[in-house]
């Protein structure tokens, strides 16, 4: 793979609102058969690196700081029998041989190829905001030399103006924070089928340790404990008698409604923020009764709401032990 040195500008953005201008390029009837190619460029500090990272998470093959004069050779590398992953190429004024007018001429020629769907994304930003970002990161603008960052920004803006006017898509990130820019990129370039969230619902026993990784943890030890019912001790939250016992607790119904409602509300928000994995864990003392039953009931409710959780019971096979259940929380 041809790849230049990765040089990144940290993006300490400020607010999650900005005006975004999209101008779609023409697509032919055979667009789904073409190699999808996205050229990502713009002002240094405007968000190119962030955009490329999001594209990579969305399944794109990404190359940053690529010598754009070699683009023809990269595209003509023998392709697999199936349509390859969409390709995103990042370049800016630091790229070797950077010449905006020559790049435009080169890309115009490539856009006439019937086997390519080529789009150019230009990331813009106000000079005042770029100066603020350079001051916060204490990075020197590559075109400023010994002058203030404003001089480098001014020179870069003049150099890139032909590309800015010519680009298919223009996004102004002046008022974006990092999350807002990621959201814009996901909304524009995510696959049509959408981002799939991997959801895990688990149960565990606090007496046997917390789960190492969980996004949401709910403590079920406020519910009456079936362990202290002699005929239920050796059973688990999968047994109907244990479920009936837990349901009789006056706190169960309201707790179940509130917890399942909260999770159902949060999951689309997690998906919208690009989170790929969500783990919701329910704990009780031994991890055999209350947590198991609640995890089962919440997973059922989530399936009815259109989600597809994976259900795990970490301590279901552990033996019932009075010593574990005899602490302050029973």
Does residue 315 contact residue 205 with C-beta atoms inside 8 Å?
Answer: yes
Looking at residue 274, its pLDDT comes to 76
pLDDT at 123 over 70: yes
Work out how many domains the chain is built from and give that number: 2
Does residue 223 contact residue 290 with C-beta atoms inside 8 Å?
Answer: yes
Does residue 48 contact residue 89 with C-beta atoms inside 8 Å?
Answer: no
Looking at residues 274-284, what average pLDDT do you find?
Answer: 89
pLDDT at 15 over 60: no
Distances (CA, A) of 280 to 66, 239, 257, 301: 41, 22, 16, 14
Does residue 218 contact residue 281 with C-beta atoms inside 8 Å?
Answer: yes
- Say which residue, 74 or 325, is predicted with more confidence: 74
**Based on the domain organization, do 146 and 211 belong to the same domain?**
no
- For 13, the 3-state DSSP assignment is coil
**Based on the domain organization, do 226 and 185 belong to the same domain?**
no
Distances (CA, A) of 319 to 208, 282, 289: 12, 19, 12
Distances (CA, A) of 137 to 52, 134, 175, 304: 20, 5, 17, 48
**Interstrand relation of 20-22 and 169-172 (parallel, antiparallel or unpaired):** antiparallel
Looking at residue 80, its pLDDT comes to 64
Looking at residues 218-230, what average pLDDT do you find?
Answer: 94
Q: Does some domain include residue 7?
A: no
Helix ranges restricted to H, 174-251: 178-189, 240-247
**H-helix or E-strand spanning residue 36:** strand 35-42
Q: What is the mean pLDDT of the chain?
A: 83
Q: For 117, phi and psi rounded to 5 degrees? A: -115, 95
**Based on the domain organization, do 320 and 226 belong to the same domain?**
yes
**Based on the domain organization, do 203 and 181 belong to the same domain?**
no
**Based on the domain organization, do 174 and 28 belong to the same domain?**
yes
**Based on the domain organization, do 185 and 212 belong to the same domain?**
no
**H-helix or E-strand spanning residue 281:** strand 277-284
Q: Does some domain include residue 5?
A: no
Looking at residue 323, its pLDDT comes to 53
**Based on the domain organization, do 255 and 183 belong to the same domain?**
no
Q: Does some domain include residue 3?
A: no
Does residue 123 contact residue 171 with C-beta atoms inside 8 Å?
Answer: yes
Of 3-12, 55-64, 70-79, 193-202, least confident by mean pLDDT is 3-12
Give the tens place of pLDDT for each residue, 307-316: 989 899 988 8
**Based on the domain organization, do 150 and 208 belong to the same domain?**
no
The CA radius of gyration of the chain, in Å to the nearest whole number, is: 27
Helices (H), strands (E): how many in the chain? Answer: 10, 10
Q: Which domain holds residue 156?
A: 20-189
pTM of the model: 0.60
Does residue 42 contact residue 123 with C-beta atoms inside 8 Å?
Answer: yes
**Based on the domain organization, do 38 and 148 belong to the same domain?**
yes
**Based on the domain organization, do 210 and 260 belong to the same domain?**
yes
Q: How confident is the model at residue 82 (pLDDT cuts 50, 70, 90)?
A: low
Residues 6+ apart with CB under 8 A from 327: 207, 285
User: Cβ–Cβ contacts within 10 Å for residue 212, how many?
Assistant: 6
Domain end (from 189, 207, 241): 189
Domain end (from 189, 214, 242): 189
Q: Does some domain include residue 48?
A: yes
Looking at residue 32, its pLDDT comes to 59
Does residue 260 contact residue 218 with C-beta atoms inside 8 Å?
Answer: no
**Based on the domain organization, do 108 and 34 belong to the same domain?**
yes
Q: Cα separation of 226 and 288, whole Å?
A: 10
Domain end (from 134, 164, 189): 189
Does residue 309 contact residue 200 with C-beta atoms inside 8 Å?
Answer: yes
**Based on the domain organization, do 150 and 207 belong to the same domain?**
no
Of 20-29, 143-152, 266-275, 319-328, least confident by mean pLDDT is 20-29
What CATH code is carried by the domain that includes residue 39?
3.40.50.300
Looking at residues 284-302, what average pLDDT do you find?
Answer: 95
Q: Does some domain include residue 225?
A: yes
Q: Does some domain include residue 285?
A: yes
pLDDT at 267 over 50: yes
Looking at residue 212, its pLDDT comes to 76
3-state helix, strand, coil in the chain (%, to 5): 40, 15, 45
Q: Does some domain include residue 138?
A: yes
Q: Does some domain include residue 1?
A: no
Does residue 45 contact residue 130 with C-beta atoms inside 8 Å?
Answer: yes
**H-helix or E-strand spanning residue 150:** helix 149-166
């Amino acid at each position: 793979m041809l790849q230049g040195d990765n040089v990144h500008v940290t993006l300490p953005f400020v607010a999650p609102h900005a005006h975004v201008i999209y101008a779609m390029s023409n697509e032919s009837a055979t667009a789904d058969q073409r190699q999808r190619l996205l050229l990502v460029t713009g002002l240094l500090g405007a968000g190119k690196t962030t955009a490329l990272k999001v594209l990579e998470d969305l399944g794109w093959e990404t190359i940053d700081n690529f010598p754009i004069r070699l683009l023809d050779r990269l595209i003509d590398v023998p392709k697999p029998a199936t349509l390859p992953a969409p390709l995103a190429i990042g370049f800016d004024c630091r790229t070797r041989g950077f010449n905006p007018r020559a790049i435009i001429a080169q890309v115009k020629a490539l856009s006439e190829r019937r086997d390519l769907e080529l789009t150019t994304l230009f990331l813009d930003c106000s000079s005042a905001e770029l100066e603020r970002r350079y001051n916060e990161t204490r990075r020197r603008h590559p075109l400023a030399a010994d002058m203030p960052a404003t001089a480098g920004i001014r020179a870069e803006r003049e150099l890139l103006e032909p590309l800015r006017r010519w680009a298919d898509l223009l996004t102004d990130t002046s008022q974006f924070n990092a999350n807002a820019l990621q959201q814009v990129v996901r909304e524009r370039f995510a696959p049509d089928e959408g981002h799939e969230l991997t959801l895990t619902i688990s149960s565990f026993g606090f007496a046997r340790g917390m789960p190492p990784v969980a996004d949401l943890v709910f403590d079920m030890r406020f519910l009456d404990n079936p362990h202290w019912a002699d005929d239920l001790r050796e059973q688990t939250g999968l047994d109907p008698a244990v479920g009936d016992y837990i349901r009789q607790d006056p706190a169960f119904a309201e707790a179940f409604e509130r917890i399942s409602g909260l999770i159902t509300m949060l999951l689309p928000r997690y998906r919208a923020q690009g989170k790929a994995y969500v783990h919701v864990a329910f704990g009780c003392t031994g991890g055999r009764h209350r947590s198991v039953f609640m995890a089962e009931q919440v997973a059922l409710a989530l399936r009815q709401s259109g989600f597809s959780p994976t259900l795990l019971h970490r301590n279901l096979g552990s033996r019932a032990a009075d010593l574990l259940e005899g602490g302050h929380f029973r």
